[in-house]
Homo-oligomer: A and B are copies of this chain.
Amino acid sequence: MAEKEKLTLVVFHGGLDHAQAAFIIATTAASMGMEVVMFFTFWGLNIIKKNEGAIKSKGLMRKMLNLINRGGTKRLKLSKFNMFGLGTWMMKKLMKEVNSPSIDDLITMAHQMGVRLVACTTTCGVMGLSEDTFRSEVESLAGAAYFLGEARTSKVTLFI
């Protein structure tokens, strides 16, 4: 039997716009019968953090970092024209108006379609994030070698 073609996405940026692009590509690929892996690293981890509760981490600097870089779908901002929240608010309104799914909807859809969500071990180590920081849809933590293993066997790999 022919193997499924695979799409691997590295999600490095953490804007609302990047999240939307990444998940629209991922869910569309899954609906076309592709296997999909999303590898979240750096600011991209913000997209898959839980919305509720404080992030527990050790040391003053990590606590500060995780306070200003809290993340979670509710806190994502447009990477351009955020305008103190106005631009982001407008974009969400406009998306709703045309019945475009929210990031939360897209994450649920992706998960139900079998898209694998993986968080980068290295960034988690530097920022002091445990598996517990992430939403239940996130499958596991893994490193760059895992990502490259997936990328090597993928038809398409994108760095978003």
Contact surface of A with B, Cβ cutoff 8 Å: 5, 7, 10, 12, 14, 17-18, 21, 24-25, 28-29, 31-32, 34, 41-43, 59, 61-62, 64-65, 68-69, 80-81, 87, 90-91, 93-95, 97-98, 100, 122, 125-128, 143-145, 147-149, 151-152, 154-160
Contacts and interface: CB of A to CB of B under 8 A. Distances in A.
B24 A94 contact: no
Given A65-B94, A81-B68, A90-B64, A156 B145 contact: no
Given A145-B32, A158-B159, A159-B159, A126 B98 contact: yes
Nearest to A150: B156
Contact of A156 (B7, B18, B68, B151): B151
Nearest to A17: B42
Contacts of A98: 125-126
Contacts of A158: 10, 157-159
Nearest to A89: B61
9 contacts: A7-B148, A14-B80, A25-B147, A25-B148, A61-B93, A62-B94, A91-B126, A100-B125, A159-B160
